[in-house]
Amino acid sequence: MMALGLFFLATTAGRRTIATTTSTCISSSHKVIRPTTAFLSSSSLSHHRKDTSKQHMSSSSSSSKQAPKKKKKSRGKDLRREFIGMAKAVDRGQFAITYNPGGKDGISFEAKSGLPARNKPFVVLGIESSCDDTGAAVVRSDGVILGESLASQHDIHEEWGGVVPGLAKTAHEEKIDLVIEEALQNANLTMSEVDAIGVTVGPGLEICLRVGCERAKDLALRYKKPFVGVHHLEAHILMARLPFGNLERVEVQPATEEVHEAVHAMSFPFLALLVSGGHCQLMKCLGIGRYSIIGGTIDDSLGEAFDKTARLLGLPVGGGGGPAVEALAKEGDPKSIQLPIPLQRRKDCDFSYAGLKTAVRMAADKLRLERGLESIDDLCRQDKANIAASFQNVAIRHIEQRLNRAMDMIENEQEEEGGEKIQSLAVVGGVAANLELRSRLEKVCDDRSTSWNMFVPPPRLCTDQGSMSAWAAIERIMVGSSDQADGQEVYARFPFSA
């Protein structure tokens, strides 16, 4: 930060005038600028102004004789211009920190804080506080959820129409210990009997992430447990591999001398569609920490579009705008209002929901005018239901188009290049709980010339909760990866490494 070398505060004639100058104190780590105060008379101030004026004129004169300097280009502005119209949260070299637990080759994992014995099932405590719910769960490495607890903040944020970070942080601080204790009690275990700890460290709301991370670090160091800093989006993706319920088929990874037999709902590689409140991405999932993004949102995510539509229609959003719009849409006609499908001229796999959001607002306002009403909120329930149904129909149609294109691309690549075949789709993230979305994407998979297998976690495991952090930590540990608890940071932005 540049310091102002000299600042004058002039007073009326006859009074002393205060001139504040700055002195610089250099410490071993950084520069500290401290103000010093001198007292000048009015005549002294006038003389000082003349001197500084002469110095300025002299400096200007000498500099005018020199060749004009070229303006330095702002690298930040150049990067922003370069990425306009491109998917957000995708690593193209612009991020200082990215997620890459396997190193340059993607498979050189390190056990920085050690590992539990992996030749038999082990137990992990998972903690989640990335946004507005405080979650903890105890999960065994064979996929069994032994105990869990979740403290919702829906009532806190309801009146504000969205998540208020400061309130969310305070609520996390109030509930974190209780939630962890309850998860352990439900699992009939003590902290000493837990084998490792996993906690979400990003991406998310930084002040909220820090609450869970600091608590997890404290427990890991106090009880000397292996520690895993969990990537929030990877945790959502890996929930599709959790062998939940009575699955018709599972993928079995045989035991070795080091690790016990592992059972998964699906195996790598696969295509994942991540749809949540903050993200909308299509990616090839090649292994733990190895993700290749082939499409992402250039503006709003699907979850944001649902939330904004819910607020526009005056629906309760404490439990999330998505469930409120989905419920109301069941009462409406999805073809009653004509809305544009986004990005029809772009033949890629990216998403955009900002334009659709605007189109929904304009359609709602048009109905308001036709009805002679003062506010969109005054529309009758049937009108609102038609708007909700039409929005949801087009929002999902956009997903269907992009997904079909991604599948075409993958199938063409496999025909040309060979390699491991991808024929499975994981639909993950909070919006994956939407039953209409599930139904229509399942049809997309079935209608392919060679049908794809679709995997979606149960609705309660699509949203943020402790089990996702615990299971993601288990997946990391099974490949020999852990992190140092001491010094672990949290990251509001934490893209997968390219």
Q: What is the pTM of this model?
A: 0.82
Does 12 map to a domain?
no
One domain, residues 332 and 366: yes
One domain, residues 440 and 472: no
One domain, residues 394 and 443: yes
Separation in Å, CA 34 to CA 18, 48, 126: 16, 22, 46
Q: What local confidence, expressed as pLDDT, does residue 6 receive?
A: 34
Which two structure tokens, joined as six digits, stand for 246? 């009575």
Residue 136: CB atoms within 10 Å: 34
Does 75 map to a domain?
no
One domain, residues 148 and 208: yes
One domain, residues 451 and 312: yes
One domain, residues 239 and 126: yes
CA 186 from centroid of its chain's CA atoms: 29
Does 22 map to a domain?
no
Does 85 map to a domain?
no
Q: What is the pLDDT of residues 200-239, one digit of tens each?
A: 999 999 999 999 999 999 999 999 999 999 999 999 999 9
3-state helix, strand, coil in the chain (%, to 5): 40, 20, 40
One domain, residues 230 and 311: no
Count CA within 13 A, CB hemisphere, residue 454. Answer: 21
Does 485 map to a domain?
no
| Res. 34: pLDDT tops 90 | no
One domain, residues 296 and 177: no
Separation in Å, CA 146 to CA 152, 181, 368, 470: 20, 13, 52, 11
One domain, residues 446 and 466: no
Does 226 map to a domain?
yes
Residue 137 is part of which domain span? 100-244+460-479
Q: What is the pLDDT of residues 437-481, one digit of tens each?
A: 999 999 999 999 999 999 999 999 999 999 999 999 999 999 999
CATH assignment at residue 324: 3.30.420.40
One domain, residues 121 and 237: yes
Does 426 map to a domain?
yes
One domain, residues 351 and 222: no
One domain, residues 200 and 296: no
Q: What is the pLDDT of residues 402-434, one digit of tens each?
A: 999 999 999 999 888 877 799 999 999 999 999
Number of domains in the chain: 2
Does 73 map to a domain?
no
Region of 405 on the Ramachandran plot (φ > 0 left; ψ -120 to 50 alpha; else beta): alpha
